[in-house]
Structure 1
């Protein structure tokens, strides 16, 4: 969304957010002033958000506005999302723990009004695919004894051997890559999704090899958040690959120098931030 921010960044939601938590901004801060002025807040993909994060915003809005009797201080908030997608991930959590972490388990759910969107605008010109997605999401698509569904052949790329599958997939998703790799519209209108970061790294390596130019490798400067005395060996920090962040060795084809900085918390594998200095 143009001009959008992540909820955790915009509302200063703490990383460890439990019941009764509040956002970490002061009443006199710029964030508080902005929230007082806001007449509408849009929060997308709220179905994958931990309910305590939404409750933390509710607690903070009631505090900065001085009203404790109205949810979100009476402001209109539009939560977007689909509960048929992947729910909030709870590490080693049971089914009940995952359900408890969702927005529907929050005490705020009863004051929310549900508006259902029934038309898939992205697949508006492909009604068959839109209906197929709904059947899969609703659990009505035909499955076998192991509750596995068989993908239709028309949406599959047939395998030709393990060594060539990734190359064939790239050719299918990025036809004419050599002639269009400098076209931003061509590159941003296509994507390959994968289940694990290991597969993503393999696909990225294959894609980089297809680009023209000399390959360069940039290594990150890793430091431990709570290790100023060198308790953590550099080899240990270099081996950590937190989700959503580049690997230790970043392979690119550029004409300008890049420095990758990572500040890692070894206790949970989280990085405080990654900056590309060009």
Structure 2
């Protein structure tokens, strides 16, 4: 399997993104065998992908470049949540589970129950159930303190947790290595979301 740092791979991705890679009548592109993971049983394909991308995960989880140089990308939020849940299960150690406290702001008649709201996953908000382990990579979804390195998209690694805070270490940028505490904070989806409340 080719490494993603291989210059050929970067050029190949640019050709696909630019629409220059040859496709078939259905608009599909055949990926070269050396960048594909062989298909196995359907229920273990995601495990095979995780094991391939994050080879020897627990032996390397303290290595900053190992964690920050790998990612599994997906086009759909529900797939991202499924991959994240499966990924966390690959880490050793105890799991901490955080739950959101969901409520509708403009709902004087209580039409939207918290049970219903817990099933929604608006863009830019974490899932209702967030499971983490020490060593799990996380991404900040809001600008909390941009001058201190805490802005939307900041990549961190969990170093510990308490009931209402996450102890994390910034992994990249000018503030790499800085330890911070992420508190529980109120979040609202953006106004352009598909929900009318």
Using structure 2 for the length normalisation, give the TM-score. Answer: 0.64
Indicate the residue corresponding to 2:163 in structure 1. 257
Within the candidate set 127, 130, 134, 1:247 is matched to 127
Asked if 1:167 corresponds to 2:62, the answer is no
Conserved? CA contact 1:217–1:250, under 8 Å: yes
Q: How does 1:1-278 map to 2 (within 5 A)?
A: 126=7, 128-227=8-107, 230-253=110-133, 254-258=160-164, 259=184, 261-263=186-188, 268-269=193-194
Deviation at 1:194, TM superposition (A): 1.1
Q: Name whichever structure is richer in helix by fraction.
A: 1
Deviation at 1:207, TM superposition (A): 1.5
CA distance in 1, matches of 2:56, 2:193: 42
Conserved? CA contact 1:222–1:238, under 8 Å: yes
Deviation at 1:227, TM superposition (A): 2.6
The C-alpha deviation readout for 1:19-52, integer Å capped at 9, x for no partner, is xxxxxxxxxxxxxxxxxxxxxxxxxxxxxxxxxx
Indicate the residue corresponding to 1:84 in structure 2. none
The unaligned stretches of length 5 or more in structure 1 are 1-121, 271-278
The C-alpha deviation readout for 1:140-165, integer Å capped at 9, x for no partner, is 32221112110111111111121221
CA distance in 2, matches of 1:197, 1:188: 21
CA RMSD of aligned residues (A): 2.8
Q: How has the CA–CA distance of structure 1 residues 216 and 133 changed in structure 2, closer, same or farther, with 3 Å as cutoff?
A: closer
Structure ranking higher on relative contact order (CA contacts 8 Å, 6+ apart): 2
CA distance in 1, matches of 2:122, 2:162: 26
Matched residue pairs, number?
Answer: 148
Q: How has the CA–CA distance of structure 1 residues 171 and 267 changed in structure 2, closer, same or farther, with 3 Å as cutoff?
A: closer
The unaligned stretches of length 5 or more in structure 2 are 134-159, 165-183
CA distance in 2, matches of 1:251, 1:179: 21
CA distance in 2, matches of 1:182, 1:232: 43
